[in-house]
Copies of this chain bind each other. A is one copy, B any other.
Amino acid sequence: MSGPQPKTFIVREAVLKAFCAAVLERLGVPADEAALVTDVLVEADLRGVESHGVLRLPQYVERIAAGGANPKPNIRPVRETRTTAVLDGDNGLGHLVGVRAMELAMAKAAEGDCAFVAVRNSNHYGAAAYFAEMAARRDMIGLSFTISGLLLFPPWGGAEAMIGNNPLAMAFPTDREFPIVLDMACTVARGKILAASKKGAAIPADWATGPDGLPTTDPAEALKGFLLPVGGPKGYALAVAVGLLSTMLSGAAFGSEIGQVHFQTEKAPNVGHLFGVLPISSFEDIGRYKQRMRKAIEDVQNVKKAPGVERIFLPGEREYLLLQERRRQGIPLSLGVFNDLQQVGKRYGLELATMGA
Protein backbone atom coordinates (compact mmCIF):
# COMPACT_ATOMS: atom_id res chain seq x y z
CA MET A 1 0.00 0.00 0.00
CA SER A 2 1.41 3.39 -0.93
CA GLY A 3 1.80 5.86 1.92
CA PRO A 4 1.33 9.60 1.62
CA GLN A 5 3.53 11.28 -1.01
CA PRO A 6 5.10 14.74 -0.70
CA LYS A 7 2.58 17.54 -1.23
CA THR A 8 -0.24 15.21 -0.25
CA PHE A 9 -3.13 16.30 1.95
CA ILE A 10 -4.85 13.67 4.07
CA VAL A 11 -8.61 14.06 4.39
CA ARG A 12 -11.03 11.94 6.38
CA GLU A 13 -13.66 10.02 4.40
CA ALA A 14 -16.54 11.63 6.34
CA VAL A 15 -15.10 15.12 5.91
CA LEU A 16 -14.52 14.68 2.18
CA LYS A 17 -18.05 13.31 1.74
CA ALA A 18 -19.64 16.15 3.68
CA PHE A 19 -17.70 18.69 1.62
CA CYS A 20 -18.62 17.18 -1.77
CA ALA A 21 -22.26 16.72 -0.80
CA ALA A 22 -22.45 20.32 0.42
CA VAL A 23 -21.04 21.60 -2.89
CA LEU A 24 -23.59 19.57 -4.84
CA GLU A 25 -26.44 20.75 -2.61
CA ARG A 26 -25.43 24.38 -3.23
CA LEU A 27 -25.85 23.61 -6.94
CA GLY A 28 -29.41 22.45 -6.34
CA VAL A 29 -28.89 18.69 -6.00
CA PRO A 30 -31.36 17.31 -3.38
CA ALA A 31 -29.57 16.22 -0.19
CA ASP A 32 -30.23 12.47 -0.49
CA GLU A 33 -29.08 12.46 -4.11
CA ALA A 34 -26.01 14.56 -3.34
CA ALA A 35 -25.08 12.01 -0.66
CA LEU A 36 -25.49 9.23 -3.19
CA VAL A 37 -23.31 10.87 -5.86
CA THR A 38 -20.72 11.64 -3.21
CA ASP A 39 -20.65 8.03 -2.07
CA VAL A 40 -19.84 6.86 -5.62
CA LEU A 41 -17.13 9.52 -6.01
CA VAL A 42 -15.38 9.01 -2.67
CA GLU A 43 -15.51 5.22 -2.95
CA ALA A 44 -13.26 5.56 -6.02
CA ASP A 45 -10.75 7.58 -3.96
CA LEU A 46 -10.94 5.06 -1.12
CA ARG A 47 -10.19 2.26 -3.61
CA GLY A 48 -7.21 4.09 -5.09
CA VAL A 49 -8.99 4.87 -8.37
CA GLU A 50 -8.23 8.60 -8.02
CA SER A 51 -8.86 9.22 -11.73
CA HIS A 52 -12.57 8.62 -11.12
CA GLY A 53 -12.90 10.18 -7.69
CA VAL A 54 -13.29 13.70 -6.29
CA LEU A 55 -10.71 14.92 -8.82
CA ARG A 56 -13.73 15.05 -11.14
CA LEU A 57 -15.98 17.13 -8.85
CA PRO A 58 -14.93 20.49 -10.39
CA GLN A 59 -15.90 19.15 -13.87
CA TYR A 60 -19.32 18.11 -12.64
CA VAL A 61 -19.80 21.43 -10.88
CA GLU A 62 -18.85 23.31 -14.04
CA ARG A 63 -21.24 21.24 -16.13
CA ILE A 64 -24.18 21.75 -13.76
CA ALA A 65 -23.39 25.47 -13.50
CA ALA A 66 -23.21 25.78 -17.30
CA GLY A 67 -26.53 23.98 -17.79
CA GLY A 68 -24.98 20.83 -19.30
CA ALA A 69 -26.12 18.58 -16.43
CA ASN A 70 -29.40 18.59 -14.54
CA PRO A 71 -29.16 18.86 -10.72
CA LYS A 72 -32.79 17.73 -10.24
CA PRO A 73 -33.40 15.08 -12.90
CA ASN A 74 -36.65 13.22 -13.34
CA ILE A 75 -35.11 9.79 -13.93
CA ARG A 76 -37.76 7.48 -15.38
CA PRO A 77 -38.26 4.26 -17.34
CA VAL A 78 -39.46 4.95 -20.88
CA ARG A 79 -39.79 1.34 -22.04
CA GLU A 80 -40.13 -1.82 -19.96
CA THR A 81 -40.68 -5.54 -20.01
CA ARG A 82 -40.72 -7.60 -16.82
CA THR A 83 -36.93 -8.17 -17.12
CA THR A 84 -35.69 -5.20 -19.16
CA ALA A 85 -36.00 -1.42 -19.10
CA VAL A 86 -34.75 1.69 -20.79
CA LEU A 87 -34.14 4.47 -18.31
CA ASP A 88 -34.03 8.13 -19.32
CA GLY A 89 -31.56 9.86 -17.00
CA ASP A 90 -32.98 13.33 -17.78
CA ASN A 91 -29.37 14.53 -17.99
CA GLY A 92 -28.71 13.88 -14.30
CA LEU A 93 -25.26 13.10 -12.93
CA GLY A 94 -24.24 9.62 -14.09
CA HIS A 95 -23.50 8.38 -10.58
CA LEU A 96 -27.09 8.97 -9.51
CA VAL A 97 -28.58 7.69 -12.76
CA GLY A 98 -26.36 4.59 -12.54
CA VAL A 99 -27.46 3.79 -9.00
CA ARG A 100 -31.14 4.18 -9.97
CA ALA A 101 -30.65 1.97 -13.02
CA MET A 102 -28.90 -0.76 -11.06
CA GLU A 103 -31.61 -0.59 -8.37
CA LEU A 104 -34.23 -1.08 -11.09
CA ALA A 105 -32.32 -4.05 -12.53
CA MET A 106 -32.09 -5.64 -9.08
CA ALA A 107 -35.80 -5.04 -8.44
CA LYS A 108 -36.66 -6.74 -11.72
CA ALA A 109 -34.48 -9.69 -10.66
CA ALA A 110 -36.19 -10.05 -7.28
CA GLU A 111 -38.09 -13.18 -8.36
CA GLY A 112 -34.97 -14.83 -9.77
CA ASP A 113 -34.92 -13.46 -13.31
CA CYS A 114 -31.85 -12.04 -14.95
CA ALA A 115 -32.47 -8.38 -15.77
CA PHE A 116 -30.90 -5.61 -17.86
CA VAL A 117 -31.43 -1.86 -17.80
CA ALA A 118 -30.15 0.35 -20.63
CA VAL A 119 -29.69 4.07 -19.97
CA ARG A 120 -29.73 7.20 -22.11
CA ASN A 121 -29.43 10.92 -21.32
CA SER A 122 -26.94 10.31 -18.56
CA ASN A 123 -23.50 11.76 -17.79
CA HIS A 124 -20.08 10.43 -16.76
CA TYR A 125 -20.87 7.84 -14.07
CA GLY A 126 -17.52 7.55 -12.32
CA ALA A 127 -16.00 4.11 -11.67
CA ALA A 128 -17.88 1.28 -13.39
CA ALA A 129 -17.16 -1.10 -10.50
CA TYR A 130 -19.42 0.72 -8.03
CA PHE A 131 -22.63 -0.37 -9.76
CA ALA A 132 -21.49 -3.95 -10.35
CA GLU A 133 -20.63 -4.21 -6.65
CA MET A 134 -24.15 -3.09 -5.67
CA ALA A 135 -25.40 -6.32 -7.24
CA ALA A 136 -22.65 -8.46 -5.70
CA ARG A 137 -23.80 -7.33 -2.24
CA ARG A 138 -27.23 -8.79 -3.09
CA ASP A 139 -25.81 -12.16 -4.16
CA MET A 140 -26.06 -11.36 -7.86
CA ILE A 141 -23.33 -11.15 -10.48
CA GLY A 142 -23.34 -7.48 -11.51
CA LEU A 143 -22.42 -6.17 -14.96
CA SER A 144 -21.78 -2.49 -15.72
CA PHE A 145 -20.92 -1.00 -19.13
CA THR A 146 -20.52 2.59 -20.22
CA ILE A 147 -19.30 4.66 -23.13
CA SER A 148 -16.57 7.24 -22.72
CA GLY A 149 -17.46 10.85 -23.44
CA LEU A 150 -14.06 11.28 -25.10
CA LEU A 151 -13.11 9.83 -28.49
CA LEU A 152 -9.64 8.55 -27.65
CA PHE A 153 -8.40 6.30 -30.43
CA PRO A 154 -9.03 5.38 -34.06
CA PRO A 155 -10.61 2.18 -35.30
CA TRP A 156 -7.83 -0.33 -36.08
CA GLY A 157 -5.84 1.08 -39.03
CA GLY A 158 -7.29 4.57 -38.70
CA ALA A 159 -5.72 7.96 -37.99
CA GLU A 160 -8.70 9.78 -36.47
CA ALA A 161 -10.14 9.20 -33.00
CA MET A 162 -13.64 7.66 -33.14
CA ILE A 163 -13.68 5.14 -30.26
CA GLY A 164 -13.73 5.84 -26.53
CA ASN A 165 -11.94 4.09 -23.74
CA ASN A 166 -15.22 2.35 -22.96
CA PRO A 167 -15.02 0.67 -19.55
CA LEU A 168 -16.71 -2.45 -18.28
CA ALA A 169 -17.02 -3.93 -14.82
CA MET A 170 -18.17 -7.28 -13.47
CA ALA A 171 -18.53 -8.14 -9.79
CA PHE A 172 -18.88 -11.62 -8.28
CA PRO A 173 -20.18 -12.23 -4.75
CA THR A 174 -17.89 -14.24 -2.45
CA ASP A 175 -17.95 -15.18 1.22
CA ARG A 176 -14.67 -13.35 1.72
CA GLU A 177 -14.56 -9.72 2.81
CA PHE A 178 -14.34 -8.57 -0.80
CA PRO A 179 -16.15 -9.44 -4.03
CA ILE A 180 -14.05 -10.30 -7.11
CA VAL A 181 -14.23 -7.24 -9.35
CA LEU A 182 -13.11 -6.68 -12.91
CA ASP A 183 -13.03 -2.98 -13.82
CA MET A 184 -11.13 -2.13 -16.97
CA ALA A 185 -10.93 0.37 -19.79
CA CYS A 186 -9.63 -0.57 -23.21
CA THR A 187 -6.30 1.29 -23.64
CA VAL A 188 -3.02 1.54 -21.78
CA ALA A 189 -2.87 4.51 -19.41
CA ARG A 190 -1.65 7.76 -20.98
CA GLY A 191 0.30 8.37 -17.75
CA LYS A 192 2.72 5.56 -18.65
CA ILE A 193 3.60 7.34 -21.89
CA LEU A 194 4.07 10.64 -20.05
CA ALA A 195 6.43 8.90 -17.61
CA ALA A 196 8.50 7.41 -20.47
CA SER A 197 8.61 10.82 -22.14
CA LYS A 198 10.03 12.43 -18.99
CA LYS A 199 12.71 9.72 -18.72
CA GLY A 200 13.49 9.91 -22.45
CA ALA A 201 12.80 6.15 -22.70
CA ALA A 202 11.30 4.35 -25.71
CA ILE A 203 7.83 2.86 -25.28
CA PRO A 204 6.72 -0.60 -26.48
CA ALA A 205 5.43 -0.50 -30.07
CA ASP A 206 1.95 -1.62 -29.00
CA TRP A 207 1.15 1.30 -26.67
CA ALA A 208 0.47 4.16 -29.06
CA THR A 209 0.69 5.61 -32.56
CA GLY A 210 1.96 8.92 -33.87
CA PRO A 211 -0.50 11.45 -35.34
CA ASP A 212 -0.40 9.50 -38.64
CA GLY A 213 -1.89 6.40 -36.99
CA LEU A 214 1.29 4.32 -37.33
CA PRO A 215 2.70 2.63 -34.20
CA THR A 216 5.62 4.47 -32.60
CA THR A 217 8.16 3.78 -29.86
CA ASP A 218 8.84 7.52 -29.42
CA PRO A 219 6.81 8.84 -26.47
CA ALA A 220 6.91 12.41 -27.85
CA GLU A 221 5.27 11.24 -31.10
CA ALA A 222 2.85 9.11 -29.08
CA LEU A 223 1.70 12.11 -27.06
CA LYS A 224 0.84 13.89 -30.31
CA GLY A 225 -0.90 10.77 -31.62
CA PHE A 226 -3.32 8.15 -30.28
CA LEU A 227 -3.36 5.55 -27.55
CA LEU A 228 -3.56 2.00 -28.85
CA PRO A 229 -6.18 -0.34 -27.45
CA VAL A 230 -4.92 -3.22 -25.25
CA GLY A 231 -4.08 -6.29 -27.30
CA GLY A 232 -4.39 -4.30 -30.56
CA PRO A 233 -7.41 -5.47 -32.57
CA LYS A 234 -8.76 -7.30 -29.49
CA GLY A 235 -8.97 -4.07 -27.49
CA TYR A 236 -10.43 -2.25 -30.49
CA ALA A 237 -13.18 -4.86 -30.83
CA LEU A 238 -13.85 -4.90 -27.08
CA ALA A 239 -14.15 -1.10 -26.95
CA VAL A 240 -16.57 -1.13 -29.90
CA ALA A 241 -18.66 -3.88 -28.29
CA VAL A 242 -18.83 -2.13 -24.90
CA GLY A 243 -19.69 1.13 -26.67
CA LEU A 244 -22.52 -0.50 -28.64
CA LEU A 245 -23.90 -2.27 -25.53
CA SER A 246 -23.94 1.09 -23.74
CA THR A 247 -25.73 3.08 -26.45
CA MET A 248 -27.63 1.13 -29.10
CA LEU A 249 -30.29 -0.26 -26.74
CA SER A 250 -31.19 3.17 -25.37
CA GLY A 251 -30.50 5.76 -28.07
CA ALA A 252 -27.44 7.24 -26.32
CA ALA A 253 -24.64 8.92 -28.30
CA PHE A 254 -22.01 6.86 -30.16
CA GLY A 255 -19.09 7.79 -32.44
CA SER A 256 -19.52 11.08 -34.28
CA GLU A 257 -22.56 11.87 -32.10
CA ILE A 258 -20.10 12.23 -29.21
CA GLY A 259 -17.63 14.54 -30.95
CA GLN A 260 -16.50 17.42 -28.75
CA VAL A 261 -19.37 17.21 -26.25
CA HIS A 262 -16.95 16.39 -23.42
CA PHE A 263 -15.60 19.94 -23.73
CA GLN A 264 -18.99 21.61 -24.26
CA THR A 265 -20.10 21.95 -20.65
CA GLU A 266 -23.33 23.68 -21.59
CA LYS A 267 -24.62 20.74 -23.65
CA ALA A 268 -26.22 17.48 -22.49
CA PRO A 269 -23.81 14.72 -23.59
CA ASN A 270 -26.42 11.92 -23.81
CA VAL A 271 -24.09 9.37 -22.20
CA GLY A 272 -25.31 5.75 -22.23
CA HIS A 273 -24.82 2.82 -19.90
CA LEU A 274 -26.00 -0.77 -19.59
CA PHE A 275 -26.45 -2.65 -16.33
CA GLY A 276 -27.17 -6.35 -15.89
CA VAL A 277 -27.71 -8.74 -13.00
CA LEU A 278 -27.63 -12.53 -12.73
CA PRO A 279 -29.05 -13.78 -9.41
CA ILE A 280 -26.81 -16.62 -8.26
CA SER A 281 -29.57 -18.65 -6.63
CA SER A 282 -31.45 -19.05 -9.91
CA PHE A 283 -28.50 -21.06 -11.18
CA GLU A 284 -26.78 -22.61 -8.17
CA ASP A 285 -27.29 -23.13 -4.44
CA ILE A 286 -25.78 -20.01 -2.93
CA GLY A 287 -23.84 -22.00 -0.34
CA ARG A 288 -22.28 -24.24 -2.96
CA TYR A 289 -21.49 -21.23 -5.17
CA LYS A 290 -19.66 -19.50 -2.32
CA GLN A 291 -17.79 -22.63 -1.37
CA ARG A 292 -16.63 -23.03 -4.96
CA MET A 293 -15.67 -19.35 -5.16
CA ARG A 294 -13.61 -19.80 -2.00
CA LYS A 295 -11.79 -22.72 -3.61
CA ALA A 296 -11.24 -20.69 -6.81
CA ILE A 297 -9.78 -17.81 -4.78
CA GLU A 298 -7.46 -20.18 -2.93
CA ASP A 299 -6.32 -21.75 -6.21
CA VAL A 300 -5.32 -18.31 -7.47
CA GLN A 301 -3.76 -17.04 -4.23
CA ASN A 302 -1.71 -20.16 -3.63
CA VAL A 303 0.20 -20.44 -6.91
CA LYS A 304 4.00 -20.32 -6.89
CA LYS A 305 5.08 -16.66 -6.93
CA ALA A 306 7.49 -14.86 -9.25
CA PRO A 307 10.70 -13.62 -7.56
CA GLY A 308 10.06 -10.48 -5.53
CA VAL A 309 6.30 -11.02 -5.40
CA GLU A 310 4.98 -11.30 -1.85
CA ARG A 311 1.33 -11.88 -2.46
CA ILE A 312 -1.05 -12.70 -5.30
CA PHE A 313 -4.15 -10.50 -5.48
CA LEU A 314 -7.54 -11.37 -6.92
CA PRO A 315 -9.07 -8.73 -9.20
CA GLY A 316 -10.52 -6.08 -6.87
CA GLU A 317 -8.68 -7.31 -3.75
CA ARG A 318 -5.97 -4.65 -3.82
CA GLU A 319 -8.64 -1.94 -4.10
CA TYR A 320 -10.55 -3.45 -1.18
CA LEU A 321 -7.44 -3.48 1.04
CA LEU A 322 -6.70 0.13 0.13
CA LEU A 323 -10.29 1.06 0.98
CA GLN A 324 -9.90 -0.47 4.44
CA GLU A 325 -6.64 1.42 4.98
CA ARG A 326 -8.00 4.74 3.79
CA ARG A 327 -11.15 4.40 5.89
CA ARG A 328 -8.85 4.20 8.92
CA GLN A 329 -6.04 6.53 7.92
CA GLY A 330 -7.72 9.06 5.65
CA ILE A 331 -7.66 9.71 1.92
CA PRO A 332 -4.54 11.30 0.39
CA LEU A 333 -5.27 14.10 -2.09
CA SER A 334 -2.57 15.57 -4.30
CA LEU A 335 -1.81 19.29 -4.05
CA GLY A 336 -3.53 19.91 -7.41
CA VAL A 337 -6.74 18.09 -6.52
CA PHE A 338 -6.83 19.63 -3.02
CA ASN A 339 -6.43 23.15 -4.41
CA ASP A 340 -9.06 22.59 -7.10
CA LEU A 341 -11.54 21.41 -4.47
CA GLN A 342 -10.80 24.36 -2.19
CA GLN A 343 -11.33 26.73 -5.11
CA VAL A 344 -14.70 25.18 -5.90
CA GLY A 345 -15.61 25.26 -2.20
CA LYS A 346 -14.70 28.93 -1.87
CA ARG A 347 -17.45 29.85 -4.32
CA TYR A 348 -19.98 28.42 -1.89
CA GLY A 349 -18.29 29.44 1.35
CA LEU A 350 -17.12 25.86 2.02
CA GLU A 351 -13.70 24.73 3.17
CA LEU A 352 -12.19 21.25 3.05
CA ALA A 353 -10.39 20.40 6.30
CA THR A 354 -7.35 18.12 6.33
CA MET A 355 -6.71 15.63 9.15
CA GLY A 356 -5.46 17.31 12.28
CA ALA A 357 -6.16 20.70 10.79
Chain A interface residues toward B at CB < 8 A: 79, 81-84, 86, 111-116, 118, 141, 154-160, 162-163, 170, 172, 180, 182-184, 188, 204-206, 209, 212-214, 230-231, 233-238, 240-241, 244-245, 247-251, 254-257, 276, 278-280, 282-284, 288-289, 292-293, 295-296, 299-301, 303-309, 311-316
* Interfacial chain B residues near A238, Cβ < 8 Å: 182, 184
Chain B residues within 8 Å of A237, by CB: 182-184, 315-316
What 9 A-B pairs come out closest when comparing CB atoms?
Answer: A213-B306, A230-B231, A255-B299, A237-B315, A249-B283, A160-B303, A157-B309, A182-B241, A160-B304
- Given A240-B182, A255-B296: A212 touches B284 (CB 8 Å cut-off): no
**Copies in the assembly, this chain:** 2
Are B157 and A249 in contact (CB-based, < 8 A)?
no
User: A215 — nearest CB in chain B belongs to which residue?
Assistant: B306
| Cα of A251 to Cα of B276 in the assembled complex, Å | 21
Q: How far is the CA of A249 from the CA of B26 in the complex (A)?
A: 46
Report the minimal beta-carbon distance from A154 to chain B, rounded to whole angstroms: 6
- Asked if A306 contacts B158 (CB within 8 A), the reply is yes
Q: A303 contacts which chain B residues (CB < 8 A)?
A: 154-155, 158-160, 162
Check B307 against A212 for contact (C-beta < 8 Å).
Answer: yes
26 contacts between A and B (CB under 8 A): A81-B282, A84-B282, A86-B284, A113-B113, A114-B276, A141-B249, A154-B303, A156-B313, A157-B312, A158-B304, A160-B304, A163-B300, A170-B241, A212-B307, A213-B306, A213-B307, A213-B309, A230-B231, A233-B315, A240-B300, A247-B292, A248-B289, A249-B284, A251-B288, A255-B296, A255-B300
Residue of B nearest to A213 (CB): B306
Cross-interface CB contact of A230 among B114, B155, B235, B308, cutoff 8 Å? B235
A289 to B233, CA, bound (A): 25
Beta-carbon contact of B284 and A250 below 8 Å: yes
Is there contact, CB below 8 Å, between A241 and B180? Answer: yes
Q: Judge whether A81 and B280 touch: CB under 8 Å.
A: no
Measured in the bound complex, the distance between the Cα atoms of B319 and A146 in whole Å is 27
Distance in Å: Cβ of A309 to nearest Cβ of chain B? 4
In the complex, chain B residues whose CB is within 8 Å of the CB of A84? 112-114, 278-279, 282-283
* A240:B314 contact, CB within 8 angstroms: yes
Which residue of B172, B204, B214, B289 is within 8 Å of A306 (Cβ)? B214
Cβ distance A86 to chain B, nearest Cβ, rounded Å? 5
Residues A245 and B141 in contact in the complex (CB < 8 Å), given A155-B312, A182-B238: yes
Does B240 contact A234, Cβ atoms closer than 8 Å? Answer: no
Q: Name the residue on B nearest A315 (C-beta).
A: B237
A81 touches B113 (CB 8 A): yes
- Judging by beta carbons under 8 Å apart, are A305 and B230 in contact? no
Selected from B183, B233, B248, the residue in CB contact (under 8 A) with A296 is: B248
Measured in the bound complex, the distance between the Cα atoms of B234 and A311 in whole Å is: 18
